[in-house]
Amino acid sequence: MNLRALAAKVVFQVLEKGISLSVALPEQQKNLDNGKDKALLAELCYGVMRYLPQLDKQVSDCMSKQMKGKQRIVHQLLLVGCYQLYFTRIPSHAAISETAEACRQLKFEGLVKVVNGVLRNIQRQEKPLSTDNDTLAYNTPAWIIKRLKEAYPDNWQNVIEQSHERPPMWLRNNQQSQTRETYLQALAGLDIEAEAGNSPDSILLSSPRDVMQLPGFETGAASVQDGAAQWAATLLAPQGSELVLDACAAPGGKSCHLLELAPEIKLVAVDFDAKRLERVQQNLDRLSLNAELVHGDAADIDSWWQGDKFDRILLDAPCSATGVIRRHPDIKWLRKNNDIEELAQLQSKIFDHCWKWLKPGGTLLYATCSILPQENKDQVSAFLARTPDATLVPIEEQANPSDIGWQIVPGQNSMDGFYYARLVKD
Ligand SMILES: C[S@@+](CC[C@H](N)C(=O)[O-])C[C@H]1O[C@@H](n2cnc3c(N)ncnc32)[C@H](O)[C@@H]1O
């Protein structure tokens, strides 16, 4: 099947079925043999997710009757066509004819002329994409814009703009294999331009690479992980043979980092999602690390753990993921406004329960990849107000030591948006 038809299928799965891009895209990439085609398929699907409102308006404005029901996939195909015309260097005639051919392959023979006509019309008009309202101007749903305006009155535009940038590729040096300096030299030896990031093991590549080109990747010399996410293990700072809980562990990037920093700890890594837990095991295997994996609920530790209380707990809570929209632009369309309050309730339930399982003198690191205060500083403030034996320990990197936790915004030092709060139990 042609690549535009596969792209339409992916966009349909995300927008009509609510399946995430990171699940829907690899499923269709399997149908392509060559790396270049896989990359173009990803580019088209990510592009449509990034610019959805503007593309949707342009396409809808050129149609007298909107596609409904099963025909929606043809509408999604038109978004893919429109994206090519505005945002790629693919010659217009090729973009249009390939997209029309995709319509035929999707078995909508009767709509091939419509697809051709709409795309030719768009191409002929050369109309700039609409910026008539905030949703169009920022390609972001109104409820996210409203929440960001409230949370970041002085820089909300910048937060949104950064969320549309293409994210850089970060590596985590495995300090059990070599020093970061040595790994940087190995990269330089292969003409891979890179620099040290601000967290101790992080390396920022100047352009993304296939991991198989990275020295020692298969044997665990380095892993792919954003610079912001790498602060988790560093801030939790596991020591010696401590008992450590990673309460929401999958796919396991932070579990692996904890073990690289302190190989003697006993790590219990739990996740609610059995399928995602398999990925934790794969990551541990690649790095030759060991942890006790539990398929369980972090809000009900009593039901699956009969051991001691934990010296340290990482609570990387389920969240809106609004800090990582630049990596997962489908989040803008999959998340709904009501989710935020529901997530905040789930977070506080897990937070309280994990706290019960922390030893006196122990440390809990609360983390999210959200940039919304309801899931971050408001969450931690409320926790502190109802938990007399909890003390917030400021993080050195915070701009202001009196802030409740450290909010990283997307693009700050090239990192994803993230939040950390470190708490110690009396
Ligand atoms: C932000 S992700 C964790 C990312 C992970 N720490 C890493 O670095 O790879 C949140 C995880 O929480 C899990 N989760 C959600 N609710 C949970 C619960 N009640 N108990 C345990 N895990 C849960 C989800 O399945 C998801 O894998």
Q: Look at residue 1 and tell me whether its pLDDT is greater than 90.
A: no
Considering the domain architecture, whether residues 186 and 78 belong to the same structural domain is answered as: no
The b/e string for 102-120 (b: 16+ C-beta within 10 A; e otherwise) is bbeebebeebbebbbebbb
Residues 55-62, mean pLDDT to the nearest whole number: 96
Is position 158 within any domain? no
Considering the domain architecture, whether residues 51 and 22 belong to the same structural domain is answered as: yes
> How sure is the predictor about 75, in pLDDT bands with cuts at 50, 70 and 90?
very high
Is position 146 within any domain? no
The total domain count for the chain is 3
Check residue 259 and give its pLDDT: 98
Alpha-carbon gap, residue 196 to 214, rounded angstroms: 16
Burial tier of 266 (Cβ tally within 10 Å: 0-12, 13-18, 19+)? middle
Considering the domain architecture, whether residues 14 and 35 belong to the same structural domain is answered as: yes
**Do 284 and 256 form a contact (C-beta atoms < 8 A)?**
yes
Angle, to 10 degrees, between the axis of helix 35-50 and the axis of helix 21-29?
150
* 248 annotated among ligand-binding-site residues: yes
Ligand 1 pocket member 55 (CB < 6 A): no
Considering the domain architecture, whether residues 272 and 362 belong to the same structural domain is answered as: yes
Residues 49-70, mean pLDDT to the nearest whole number: 95
Cα 175 vs. chain centroid, distance in angstroms? Answer: 25
Check residue 134 and give its pLDDT: 97
* Closest among 70, 123, 58 to 97, alpha carbons compared: 123
H helix or E strand, kind and range, residue 9: helix 3-17
Mean pLDDT of the chain: 97
Count of CB atoms situated within 10 Å of the CB of 361: 9
Among candidate residues 224, 241, 262, the one where a domain is terminated: 224
Is position 149 within any domain? no
Q: Ligand 1, atom 2: nearest CA belongs to which residue?
A: 318
Considering the domain architecture, whether residues 365 and 299 belong to the same structural domain is answered as: yes
Alpha-carbon gap, residue 390 to 109, rounded angstroms: 65
Alpha-carbon gap, residue 324 to 284, rounded angstroms: 24
Q: Distances in Å between the alpha carbon of 339 and those of 122, 181, 272, 322?
A: 36, 43, 18, 12
Considering the domain architecture, whether residues 238 and 382 belong to the same structural domain is answered as: yes
Give the dihedral of Cα atoms 243, 249, 253, 258; nearest 10 deg: -10
Task: Compute the distance from residue 271 Cα to the ligand 1 centre, in Å.
Answer: 6
Strand partners, 203: 171, 196
**Do 414 and 226 form a contact (C-beta atoms < 8 A)?**
no
Residue 236: what are its φ and ψ, rounded to 5°? Answer: -75, -30
* Closest among 283, 272, 354, 256 to 318, alpha carbons compared: 272
Q: Look at residue 76 and tell me whether its pLDDT is greater than 90.
A: yes
Task: Compute the distance from residue 298 Cα to the ligand 1 centre, in Å.
Answer: 9
Q: Ligand 1, atom 10: nearest CA belongs to which residue?
A: 318
> How sure is the predictor about 48, in pLDDT bands with cuts at 50, 70 and 90?
very high
H helix or E strand, kind and range, residue 398: none
Instruction: Please report, for the domain that includes residue 71, its CATH number.
Output: 1.10.940.10
pLDDT digits (tens, 9 = 90+) for 223-244: 999 999 999 999 999 999 999 9
Considering the domain architecture, whether residues 254 and 194 belong to the same structural domain is answered as: no
pLDDT digits (tens, 9 = 90+) for 344-362: 999 999 999 999 999 999 9
DSSP classification of residue 247: S
pLDDT digits (tens, 9 = 90+) for 78-92: 999 999 999 999 999
Ligand 1 pocket member 323 (CB < 6 A): no
Tokens, residue 352: 């309280």
Strand partners, 424: 363, 391
Check residue 64 and give its pLDDT: 87
Ligand 1 pocket member 37 (CB < 6 A): no
Ligand 1 pocket member 215 (CB < 6 A): no
Check residue 140 and give its pLDDT: 98
Instruction: Pick the catalytic residue from 82, 103, 354, 369.
Output: 369
Q: Look at residue 117 and tell me whether its pLDDT is greater than 90.
A: yes
> How sure is the predictor about 378, in pLDDT bands with cuts at 50, 70 and 90?
very high
Pocket test for ligand 1, best of 245, 271, 300, 370 (most atoms within 8 A of CB): 271
Instruction: Please report, for the domain that includes residue 366, its CATH number.
Output: 3.40.50.150
Please indicate whether residue 369 is annotated as part of the active site. Answer: yes
Is position 261 within any domain? yes
Print the domain residue range for 356.
231-425
* Closest approach atom of ligand 1 to CA 349: 19
Check residue 265 and give its pLDDT: 98
Ligand 1 pocket member 251 (CB < 6 A): yes
| Proportion of the chain in helix, strand, coil states, percent, rounded to 5 | 50, 15, 35
Count of CB atoms situated within 10 Å of the CB of 341: 11
Alpha-carbon gap, residue 301 to 320, rounded angstroms: 23
H helix or E strand, kind and range, residue 187: helix 180-189
